[in-house]
Chain A
Amino acid sequence: MAIALFQWAKPMHTCEPPTEVIEEWLASNGKIKGTYGHLLLEQQTATDEDLIAAMRPYFESAHLDAREYFHRQIAIDLHPDADAPGAHARYPGCLPSTARRGLFGEVMAGMMTEAFQGQFVGGHEWRIPIFLFREHADVEAYLWDLARNPARTRQIFGRFGSDFVGLSLNDAGEVVRFIAGEAKWRQQLTKSAVDSLMLGKWEEDEETGERARSGRGVWFEINRDTPIPHGLRQLQRLLELRDPAGHQAAILSIDQAIILDNAPPLPRTNLILIAGNGACGRKALDVLIRWEEAPEEYTAPHDLQVVELILTNGEALIDGLYSTLWQGGE
């Protein structure tokens, strides 16, 4: 069985966000102060089939690249009697629900960035040529240990990468700025859940017995990230594979940003998207992260855009979407 190396063109993410539907679905309140932007998005209409149908093309477009590779990988059966690729799995539908929620957050980060770019800090034009789905943090534990070891909750090597990377291109196709960030789904966006997310989990000091946040949350990760996030290199690799000619200027400008000592630094915007159901008792316009100015925990020198996406029964949307992706055929 000879299998050719895959150099497919095309499945870039090209679908526009369903702007009209989004505007009807979400109430937006944006505020920009200097290099800090805060956007509060609150669901204002119920989730229904129409909403799901309107969002489905965007989700299918976002997942298309990963889906193809996943399927191709799965189709190669190493059993000696297997003689033809036989695929059964359906990505991303085969993922467990937690993973699907993670993916949802990442797609929403892209969708909101594209749909609300006018309300984002800096007012840049953002494009997500291709989506990275790097939610499988657990895989590394399997990968390094070759065992499913529940005791080891964090991977032994590696830090989490940025979940999401988008680009701003000039007319020549060069990257002039990028947006990188974390997209997090929490079922209930309580203060405690958000603090755990942003500041780290509670830890008990072994000597004093005092409890304190570990400090290793989103702020920590985002503050210490390298000037050029590794995710940008991965995105570049996908561009090389998928559309080397169409994105050659972007590819070259990423090379320059990564390699050259004296290259002008590539401007960066950090994005934090928190999505989930509003906590009990939440009032309209309540925010989880303050909007007036950048929180003091944020110390990185780059622009920061926070997006709070407050849903009502978000699970219904997620499950509704993911159970129907590609149901209409490839």
Chain B
Amino acid sequence: MPELDAERLEVADTLRRALAIENELSRPQARAYVRCLQTTWQVPTIQWAERESTQQLADARRLLHAAHIFREIEGAGSARAIDCFRRTGEILEWLSRAADTLRTVIPIELLAAAAYQLGGLPAMASGLLRQIVTEHEGVALYAAFLKADFDGVIRLSAAFWNAHPDLTASDASLRLAEPGVEVDELDEEDDRVGWFFTVELVRSLGLIADSLRRGDDARLETAMAKLYALDEMAARTFSDDASLVLSLMRQVADGYKAASIYRPLIALAALNPDRTGKLVAYARDQFSRGRGILWTSQLQGLDRLLRDSSFALCTPTGSGKTLVANMALVKELLLREHDGLAPLAIYLVPSRALAGEVEAKLRSELGGEMTVTALYGGADWGITDYWLTGDEPTVLIATVEKADALMRYLGPILTARLRLLILDEAHQIVPDSGENTRVSFSDHSNRSIRLENFVSRVVTQRPDVVRIALTAVAGGAALPVARWIEGRRDAEAVGVRYRSTRQVIGVLETAPNATGRILLDIMNGRILYIRGQEQPVYLRLRMQPMPQLPAAMRNSLNRFNCLSVLWTALHLVEEDQRILISVAQEPEQTMRWFKEALELGSWAAVPRFAAPDGPDRARFDEARAACIDYCGEVSFELFLLDRGIATSHGQMPQRLRRLMTEMIERRICPITVATATLTEGVNLPFDHIFLTSLKRRSWDQETQTQVIAPLSTSEFRNLAGRAGRPGAAKGIEGMALIALPTQVSSTAPATIPVQRGQLRELRRDYERLRVSLLIEEMDADEVESPLALLLNAIQERASRLLGVDPDDFLEWLEQVLPTDISGAAGEGATDARARLADTLDELDGVLLTALDEIARAEDTAMTGARAEAHLVDLWRTTFTSTAAIQEAWLERAFVQRGRAIVETIYPDAEERRRLYQYGFSPLVGRRFEEIAPRVRELIAAATTYGEDDAEARVDVFEEIGELLAADRGFGFRVRQTDTDQALLRSWTNVLGWWMHEPEFLAPEADDLRAWQRFVADNLEFRLGVAIGAVVAQVWSTGAGDAFAVPSLAEWKATTGLPWFGFWARELLRWGTHDPFVAFALSQNLAQTREAAAERREEFDAWLNEEFDDIDPDDRIDPQLFLQWQGSLSRRERVAAADGPEAVQLTGTNGRRQRYSVIPVENGALIRWLDPAGFELARSDDILGEFPTRRIGNDYELRINPRETAVHRTFSATSRQ
């Protein structure tokens, strides 16, 4: 290191510290950003002088110079250079978006995009460049290059060659460079050096783009050498700005080369060279999807994947962690040698909605190589579960609940096949520390403990199973999750701590008779103005004020506020913004308010929604049909959908939820009203999120008090992080805005003081959030963990309620039975003692499950001593043990209670096995066991279900349901509200409506959600679980062999049940009494239940034709459904792949035998050009023989004694 390098670094760092610290904006920078936002929103801007622009530009140049010094001395990966590049990108982006006049002097957008690329923020680069329209073809070409849009680079360079055919001759460049040689179009006085330089630059960029996407390293090297040489020449001969752009492009190209997906994939292929071809094809396909250049976090993830097995990847939303997961699947399922059982991966997702999203993504990329299937629910085997019998590598995508249920049912075979466990959104292992979590333990509804328990069981049994945790970034638990997943205290998460989008948090101020304005507070965790010292930063919206609302509406401040949000959203849609209105609770109320407002005469002028044309129209119609099907013609959901407003909440039937999500994804519905369940782990393209409340309220029947739960900052963060996804939204930043009224809305003297109080409270809520958001920017090192929280809850309550001395706690815990604590244990009672008993039962469930699973796997009797030894092992694999330092008593309590389970609490091994298989907590399971035989009898008796009428069919469910209706342990549970209690009393009405029994009345629009909730909680879930538990156990008993694989052919013989047993859960899920309808919907053979029912005739006709002696169960035999489906005429496949196209060589002697070429069409003539712009061959396109010739495909010119022809070697599939 030259002796002055240290001083150079110090000079550069002085500037970095002054201008480019990640979480600090200088005041001028904050002002520049505010001005940019105001310009983007076309609202009045702050005062701004030209010299401020000049100063910002000068700062950007200086930062680039500092970045240059850092890279020169510290290397291309210099973190300090990255800081400088990022801030440069921001400064220039803000100037650019503020339409600054400097833009006419230098190509600011190109510089900004290059700086973002070099700062490791490619999405910001492309997000910015997408907003730029340029009339200059050169600028367009460089922009495409800086966006990593290689297809675009090739398209634009092809256009250039088409416009200058003289330049495509083999010797065109040499002639240009040769003094004295005349060149067409060029006068003596033209600057032929300049023109030559430009032509060579286009050649290099085209060749780099093509070589990158083909993975052709040899030609890439040549093209890069040329680009280097051009850069060196530019530094000498061009003005600073031109040479700067070129120099940055050259560095960006270096970055592309280093980050190409081909590199890690070829390294992976070393594990199994036979698979190289597949991996290379995969890499090419990723380029075609615009994902061929890896993000830093992906590179790091793949690097870890190559070196080690388990790790946690911590990376922001939208930065492509799915790719790392995909490669883990490829590595563990496809590249590893395996004999016998095909390998299996379980991909755990936090919600069923996400299971669908992940399934679609994985299937589109890996579906050809492995079976990818999402399991949406149920403990038993469903029609879509064909994976089990497959001898192909398989990925199961499931929620932890489903995975857990499967494990109880098919544990041995799953465990034997399992190679890889992927945990998506793994930070959900960390429970909230609030009272709700304690209640969720006693309700047996806590997810984090289920996740912890499931993973540690798997790891204890199969320590060699590779684990990969994917986790979000801000305020996260990356470090503890990493320690857990790797099982080492010194583990660290892989990935980068940065935001992939810019997030702005602020307030939408609402007031009667006034246009709303947006107050901007925080950008990426930094304040935008200093309170009390600087002017607040406003975006004053330009739209008509909302007309005065009728008294009934404005007398509720909340309602006024919600409607102001809707009014604002409807007008922002006109500017192509996509908006989520996030509702804390009771979405049905907001939906009704919206409907009633939209029906007001004074709202007639709001911008109208037009249903889409083209392919989206069919999707919209399908969603609409499903909405009518499941919600009814008069529902709020339909009314709003017809106005372009999608709705979603956790209790919505799944099919409708998926379709609603599609309406958002495809940007058909510009506005969405939803609860937080919509966005859990799911990426949807919203520009802005409005929140109407920062609290949830509920009523505690026990204490007769209102329970107010503020939105946690982590929930808010998760929500805010969904706004402004790079590439998906129009603007670069996403805004999360809390709607706050600035004035009371009521004019009634009695109401005004009440509203004033509410107003103050809303302000306080926001202030609390704002302050804690600024404080909680840091990552947590120590976090809550599920088992610790559970054990602490037991200990604390035992002490408080029963006076158990902490010193005596372990002794107490060794012997106490839940039923000793409360006579209502296991019955879902809500008094404190019952809750303690149920919390203990939850712990017993964790222990019993772990122990019985081991006993089953080892096929030996469990003793107290063995239990202790196993639990000591198991404890070490828990999040609680590895994630943070814990008190020693926790482990002792865990182990000793486990020993007691075997020795004294549930000493009967047979019973333990049954309780394990039911899947309830043990005490609840014991009580369930009393009715289980009766459930089984009812199922077994349903032999005529196939021919019964609707009423008789629904009666079967009703009879089973009656066994559950009165029980609060395993049975139906509703909230203590009058509405819900009334619903429970008349639950058979809900059942009849849901199962689509004719004549059953649908709920009023206002009641719809309460009915849906009852269906989701009690019919789909609790009734479904009860039936599933019985069926699963019957199957296990019948199968005998733990490794038996269920198959349709043997299902009836094994269980001895009629097909009704197979279908019952599917029927509850789809809301139909007819298995055929469930089948048709699940196989996408119909869009609505009615349409599916209509197709039954087709099936019946086929059945009558094919078979004689049809008995009732044949009419619902899934094997026959499948046979019938197979008989349907298949959709005609699109024309087969094109053959090679014969060509005449024009610009090569063909001695290299193979040449990469791109097609340039000129009338009927196709000129086949080398990507550097030299024509190599020609062909005629008389009959359009090669109809799918596209710039996104790869073509190769092959010359050998048999042929001189162009082959298509890669075909880009069309995507939307």
Contact = CB atoms under 8 A, between A and B. Distances in A.
Interface stretch (B132-140, B456-464, B705-713, B948-956): B132-140
Nearest to B185: A148
Interface in B1144-1181: 1147-1149, 1151-1152, 1155-1156, 1170, 1172-1174, 1176
A135 B237 contact: yes
Q: Majority SS of interface residues in chain B?
A: helix
A22 B678 CA distance: 82
A245 B237 contact: no
Given A80-B1176, A94-B178, A134 B238 contact: yes
Interface in A137-191: 137-148, 155-161
A135 B197 CA distance: 14
A141 B186 CA distance: 15
Interface string A63-79: 00110011011101111
A1 B222 contact: yes
A57 interface: no
B975 to A, nearest CB: 63
Given A142-B198, A158-B105, A158-B242, A96 B236 contact: no
A80 B1170 CA distance: 7
A251 B4 contact: yes
27 contacts: A6-B232, A78-B203, A78-B1170, A78-B1172, A80-B1152, A96-B189, A135-B237, A136-B237, A138-B194, A139-B198, A139-B238, A142-B191, A142-B195, A142-B197, A143-B242, A145-B137, A145-B138, A146-B137, A146-B202, A148-B195, A158-B105, A158-B242, A230-B241, A241-B232, A244-B2, A252-B11, A259-B65
B2 A6 contact: no
Contacts of B195: 139, 142, 148
Taking chain A's interface residues, is the majority helix, strand, or loop, or is none over half, making it mixed? loop
A93 B14 CA distance: 45
B167 to A, nearest CB: 11
A139 B138 contact: no
A133 interface: yes
B12 interface: yes
Interface stretch (B169-177, B257-265, B321-329): B169-177
Interface stretch (B223-231, B383-391, B529-537, B906-914): B223-231
Contact of B1172 (A72, A79, A135, A161): A79
A61 to B, nearest CB: 15
Interface residues of B, number: 85
B194 A147 contact: no
Interface residues of A, number: 74
Contacts of A2: 221
The 9 closest A-B pairs by CB, nearest first: A139-B194, A230-B240, A94-B179, A73-B229, A78-B1172, A3-B225, A89-B177, A142-B198, A158-B241
Interface in B192-241: 192-195, 197-198, 200-204, 207, 218-219, 221-223, 225-226, 228-230, 232-233, 235-241
A231 B136 contact: no
A99 B230 CA distance: 19
Given A76-B226, A79-B1174, A143-B138, A136 B65 contact: no
Contacts of A6: 228-229, 232
Which of B189, B242, B1174: most chain A Cβ within 10 A? B242
Most chain-B Cβ atoms within 10 A of its Cβ — which of A95, A145, A226, A234? A234
B771 interface: no
B188 interface: yes
A157 B189 contact: no
A136 B11 contact: no
Given A73-B200, A94-B177, A157-B107, A259 B235 contact: no
A1 B218 contact: yes
Given A157-B107, A234-B236, A81 B193 contact: no
A69 B203 CA distance: 18
Residue with the highest number of chain B CB atoms closer than 10 Å, among A3, A6, A78: A78
Nearest to B140: A146
A94 B196 CA distance: 12
Interface of B: 2-4, 7-8, 11-12, 14-15, 18, 58, 61-62, 65-66, 69, 72, 104-107, 136-139, 141, 160, 163, 170, 173-174, 177-179, 185-186, 188-195, 197-198, 200-204, 207, 218-219, 221-223, 225-226, 228-230, 232-233, 235-243, 1147-1149, 1151-1152, 1155-1156, 1170, 1172-1174, 1176
Interface of A: 1-3, 5-6, 65-66, 69-70, 72-74, 76-81, 86, 88-90, 93-99, 132-148, 155-161, 226, 230-231, 233-234, 237-238, 240-241, 244-245, 248-249, 251-252, 255-256, 258-261
Contact of A79 (B65, B170, B190, B230): B170
A258 B58 CA distance: 10
B194 A73 contact: no
B163 A161 contact: no
A157 B1176 contact: no
A156 B140 CA distance: 14
Given A73-B226, A145-B137, A252-B4, A259 B66 contact: yes
Contact of A159 (B65, B188, B223, B239): B239
A96 B192 CA distance: 8
A134 B237 contact: yes
B1151 A81 contact: yes
B190 A148 contact: yes
Given A81-B1151, A255-B8, A70 B136 contact: no
Contacts of B1152: 80-81
A226 B66 CA distance: 18
Contacts of B1170: 78-80
Contacts of A89: 177-179
A146 B135 CA distance: 11
A161 B238 CA distance: 8
B236 A238 contact: yes
Contacts of A134: 236-239
Contacts of A136: 191, 193-194, 197, 237-238
Contact of A255 (B12, B173, B203, B241): B12
A48 B178 CA distance: 28
Contact of B8 (A86, A94, A251, A261): A251
Nearest to B137: A146
A136 B986 CA distance: 87
Contacts of A86: 174
A180 to B, nearest CB: 12
